[in-house]
Amino acid sequence: MQGTVSRGKAIHITGIVQGVGFRPFVYNLALRHHLSGWVRNTSQGVDIRVEGCQAQLDAFLTALTNEAPPLSHIDSLTATDCPSETFEGFEIRYSERIEGAFQPISPDIALCDDCLRELLDPNDRRYRYPFINCTNCGPRFTIIEDIPYDRPLTTMSTFAMCSDCEAEYHDPTNRRFHAQPVACAECGPQVWLEVDGQRAEGDAAICQTIAMLGQGAILAIKGLGGFHLACDATNEKAVAELRRRKHRVDKPFALMMANLDQIETYCRVSPAEANLLYSPAAPIVLLNQRPQTDIAPSVAPGQASLGVMRPYTPLHVLLFEEGMPPLVMTSGNHAEEPIVTTNDEARAHLATLADAFLMHNRDIHIRTDDSVVRVCNNKELPIRRSRGYAPFPVKLPFELPPVLAVGGELKNTFCLTRNGYAFMSHHIGNMENLSTLQSFEQGVQHFERLFRASPSLIVCDQHPDYLATRYAHQQAKERGLPIVAVQHHHAHIAACMAENGHLGDRPVLGVCFDGTGLGTDGTIWGGEFLLADYAHFERVAYLKPMPLPGGDASTRKPARIAYAYLLANDLLPADDLPFAEHLSSAEMTVIQQQIAKGINTPLTSSMGRLFDAVSALLGICNTATYEGQAAIELEALVDVKEGGFYPMACAGSMIDMQPLLAQVLVDIRANVPIATMAARFHNSVAYMIAKVCQHIAANSGVTEIALSGGVFQNVTLLGKTVPLLEEAGLTVLLHHQVPPNDGGIALGQAVIGYVQAQNDPIDEVERQGSVL
């Protein structure tokens, strides 16, 4: 008889459990198991009270985790016995706001199959409605203003539901139960087209947009997290005109293609890449392009890959209904400015870029760029983590108090921690102007409000001139908080450790290769081997520092870097080499004088700059118009079948590139194919990494290798390096949640800052703006 006695359970669940259909799931699960009670959202998760016999309760608890909605993510579930209250039936109660409490927020989710089917069904009441959504898809992060995630606290609050939508919204058995953006053509957001002072609305606007794109026009299209600039990707004249208007010389454009069949017409797609394309996040995936397609040459000059995404909103799907070719879908902004989000901003700032505007009246509360990923060894490698991923947290290996880490100068993101979560922000961009700083500040304020986290510590990069660093010091002073300055490459390695759940109780050997970062000796680092935990690091090996005449400005002309590297390694003259054609005799003389006198010529150990130099030497990229161009174009030309490599010398802790450069010159003068030399260079770097790591591991006993830094966005290098390390018996930690580039360093800053502050506590008197 014991099994028939009514018992009570109080259940609390945390994680991504709001805005993903969790309460209707619980409601229907309770009915299935003949349980009574209630479920409700709170500011700290989901609370459930259930009553029934023990066997039913046990089955209910098992199903809570085993059958949870696909978009949910349970971080913790606690169930405690409680007295039975003899509830009548099971109900979904109103949400409860708890002062100071927080819970994770769902990212924006791509259109689901059910909504897609309804969108294209002439018998469905939402047929061709460009804002169709349900609990399994649609906007989340971009429309939420505060928690708990309920309609009045989103930008949908201004749209009163019609009776049909309201019935769905309040029906626990309906797919749209408490889907906060739920709407239809009768009561929801509307779309319209503005062109030459005229306005078309609804389906007519979409049809006219399709027609204009087919005629070679450039349109500004309001999306989920901001505006895109779109044009026909097979129309060279249109793409070239978009480049001219945006002043974007070479940087590749992202593409949107109708479906997997169309994508496979233009690109080679592996199963892992297809899974990413059709994941709920629907990011831009970098795919190897097929030869001799009709994609305009100026879409991605000098590239072996195309950045492709599928239509992830219903509006995008409707644009592709009439046999639309691939479209360029690039961020709606001027160079280095944040993506435009409001209609008024678009009219003011995009008028010189677009021929017409496809707009809607669902406000975007927080701008969110498209995410970008690659696949390496069948695993995801983030390049830009934003729409579809942010603000999904990284689960930390231990709990932290609220810490604000402000990231770096390029590809900025920030990180706000609370308890065991690290909330990584959406992509902010390069912190080089006021508008980007304002976007950064808006994002920080939004995160602090959403996650009820007022930082007790601020962490920044050691570089004093970074805009983010200056912001951090200003905030520390104004708020009376301690501030920790973290070395750039230490932060990279710590980010890799943290996302892999490393406790930091033992050191790893971090290989950090990137373009730039201020070293503790005042020089520019970027080719580093660091023995590191969260509290400390030791620089145990590095590339031999080379002169960088002109400093960061030299990255815009890799030919200057190549000449300086040859000069520093006694490998001149080189007048017979192709790269020399890009330097005048006067420029060569200036470089010689700068190096001889040390005028504006910092030393750098950067692996990124070595890639630049070799790319220029091979005649691939002598003038760069965007960050990383020389290295990207070098990777694009690699002959994957080539197994040769160049020598590099190690003297103590210093790795000398002189033998490599000397052999590259021999190959150039012997007319070895560029693809062969590009492959040999990549092979050389991979072999060097493996050799140095094995040597340090043998001397230190450290066998865990963390690979981080922007150079490891290069999947050719990564794909060659990882097997060599694993074959040597070493354990390799890679990035799969945050980018290896500077878009991930805020995570490492946060953990290092907290650990260092714990190890070096400050008196209350010293708290105001103090630096650890």
pLDDT tens track for 231-253:
999 999 999 999 999 999 999 99
- For the stretch 565-574, pLDDT in tens is 999 999 999 9
Q: Are residues 496 and 402 in the same domain?
A: yes
Q: Is residue 413 part of a domain?
A: yes
Average pLDDT over residues 383-411: 96
Of residues 503, 456, 510, the one with CA closest to residue 484: 456
CA dihedral sign, ordered 333, 337, 339, 345: negative
pLDDT surpasses 80 at 762: no
Q: Is residue 425 part of a domain?
A: yes
The pLDDT value recorded for residue 767 is: 36
255 Cβ neighbours under 8 A, 6+ residues apart: 233, 295, 299, 306, 307, 308, 309, 326, 327, 328, 329
Q: Tell me how far apart the alpha carbons of residues 485 and 461 are, in angstroms, rounded to a whole number.
A: 5
Range of the domain at 201: 191-372
Cα torsion through 619, 623, 624, 630, rounded to 10: 20
pLDDT surpasses 50 at 768: no
Q: Are residues 568 and 667 in the same domain?
A: yes
Q: Are residues 419 and 548 in the same domain?
A: no
The mean of the pLDDT values for the chain is 94
Which residue in the block uniquely carries the two structure tokens 């953990």? 751
Cβ pair 119, 312 in contact under 8 A: no
pLDDT surpasses 70 at 3: no
Q: Side chain identity at 258, as an amino acid letter?
A: A
Q: Where are the beta strands (DSSP E) in 123-272?
A: 191-195, 198-201, 219-222, 227-232, 254-256, 267-268
The pLDDT value recorded for residue 431 is: 93
Q: Are residues 358 and 407 in the same domain?
A: no
Whole-Å CA distances, 506 to 111, 320, 728: 44, 53, 20
Q: Are residues 710 and 752 in the same domain?
A: no
Whole-Å CA distances, 137 to 72, 133, 281: 12, 6, 10
Q: State the pairing for strand pair 731-733/45-52.
A: unpaired
Strand order in the sheet with 649-651: 649-651, 654-656, 537-543, 527-532, 508-513, 704-708, 731-733
Average pLDDT over residues 204-219: 97
- For the stretch 721-746, pLDDT in tens is 999 999 999 999 999 999 999 999 99
Q: Where are the beta strands (DSSP E) in 577-621?
A: 603-604
pLDDT surpasses 50 at 113: yes
The pLDDT value recorded for residue 761 is: 59
Residue 666 main-chain phi, psi, to 5 deg: -60, -45
Of residues 484, 482, 480, 558, the one with CA closest to residue 515: 558
CATH number of the domain where residue 33 is located: 3.30.70.100
Average pLDDT over residues 661-673: 98
Which residue in the block uniquely carries the two structure tokens 């046990």? 58
pLDDT surpasses 60 at 369: yes
Of residues 446, 445, 420, 453, the one with CA closest to residue 15: 420
Q: Are residues 626 and 725 in the same domain?
A: yes
Q: Are residues 324 and 416 in the same domain?
A: no
Q: Is residue 596 part of a domain?
A: yes
Task: Report the percentage of the chain scoring pLDDT > 90.
Answer: 89
Q: Are residues 224 and 325 in the same domain?
A: yes
The pLDDT value recorded for residue 769 is: 34
Q: Is residue 720 part of a domain?
A: yes
pLDDT surpasses 60 at 46: yes
- For the stretch 144-167, pLDDT in tens is 998 878 899 999 999 999 999 999
CATH number of the domain where residue 668 is located: 3.30.420.40
The pLDDT value recorded for residue 345 is: 96
Cβ pair 422, 415 in contact under 8 A: yes
Q: How many domains does the chain have?
A: 4
The pLDDT value recorded for residue 104 is: 83
Q: State the pairing for strand pair 36-42/7-16.
A: unpaired
Q: Tell me how far apart the alpha carbons of residues 571 and 661 are, in angstroms, rounded to a whole number.
A: 8
Which residue in the block uniquely carries the two structure tokens 């930082």? 455
Q: Is residue 180 part of a domain?
A: no
Q: State the pairing for strand pair 394-400/415-424.
A: antiparallel
Instruction: Quote the pTM value.
Output: 0.94
- For the stretch 90-107, pLDDT in tens is 999 888 877 777 778 889
Q: Are residues 470 and 353 in the same domain?
A: no
The residues with which 771 forms a beta bridge, in sequence order, are: 483
Residues 527, 370, 289: CA angle, nearest 5 degrees: 75
The pLDDT value recorded for residue 172 is: 87
Q: Are residues 718 and 751 in the same domain?
A: no
Helix (H) or strand (E) holding 358: strand 356-360
The pLDDT value recorded for residue 517 is: 96
pLDDT surpasses 50 at 608: yes
Q: Is residue 531 part of a domain?
A: no
Task: Report the percentage of the chain scoring pLDDT > 70.
Answer: 98
